Amino acid sequence: MTDSTITTPATGQQLRDGVPAFAEEVRRTGFVVMRKQELAGLISDEGLEELRGAWENLPVDTQVDGVGVYRERRYSRLRVDVDGDDTTFEVLPHAVFRQDSIPLWEGKDRVFEPVTENVLLSAGMRTLVGFNARMATAAGGTASWTAGVHLVRVVARADAEGLPTPEGRHRDGHSFVGLYLMRRDGVTGGVSTVYPNDGGDIVQTTLLQPLDSLFIDDNMITHEVSPIVPEGASGVRDMLMIDMNPVA
């Protein structure tokens, strides 16, 4: 794919009807859990299966060396503009990733291999990133976003649990973050815990089916995910994480 800018109309009933209700929940509580059945029509089973194939070609994440984690990862950035029924996607230059809000990563330039452009601008990826942008626009009121797109696979082995959040309970340091389960094979655990800033009830949930999702206002909550434990020799948990920050 040679054109790094694409404008596409919103597709899927959930883009039209689901976003306002989901976004209202985010404004009220700081997060919303969205199950696969609630996102029916957003992306076809065929489109989702095609997108999931991108997790079979991830390089090892060398940035977690020394913290007892084995995972694979790619990262790229898009500019996303929401304009009525249209969404425009522009591939941004590759950059280091910083999370200075997290002590484990503070002051570190983390370098990941980029997401290949044919995956980054694929129909399935544009659908999910576009949905994420519309959620952020509805919850935050801004229409132009820089989206960080992370493809992450955490591996659990018989001799080592998989750690989805080695940093523990944390805030990511973004405006909004969408977390979309792509694959969960041969593991137990992986319980997400959300802690509201206002002292409200702590919520625990487990993403089980592909497309089970969690969208958070990073300024309103902190969160963590418990270790994944293999049911046999090994297992994996694949996530698409999309962080959103207003275009400066």
pTM over the 0.85 mark:
yes
pLDDT at 226: 97
pLDDT higher than threshold 80 for residue 22: yes
Banded model confidence at residue 14, pLDDT cuts 50, 70, 90:
very low
When mean pLDDT is compared across 27-31, 108-112, 119-123, the lowest value belongs to 108-112
Sheet containing 144-157: order of strands: 5-9, 86-91, 71-83, 144-157, 234-246, 176-185, 213-217, 31-34
User: How far is Cα of residue 151 from the mean position of the Cα atoms in its chain?
Assistant: 8
pLDDT higher than threshold 60 for residue 189: yes
Domains, the chain = 5-246 (2.60.120.620)
Q: What is the pLDDT of residues 190-224, one digit of tens each?
A: 999 999 998 889 999 999 999 999 999 999 999 99
pLDDT at 17: 62
Q: What is the mean pLDDT of the chain?
A: 91
pLDDT higher than threshold 80 for residue 68: no
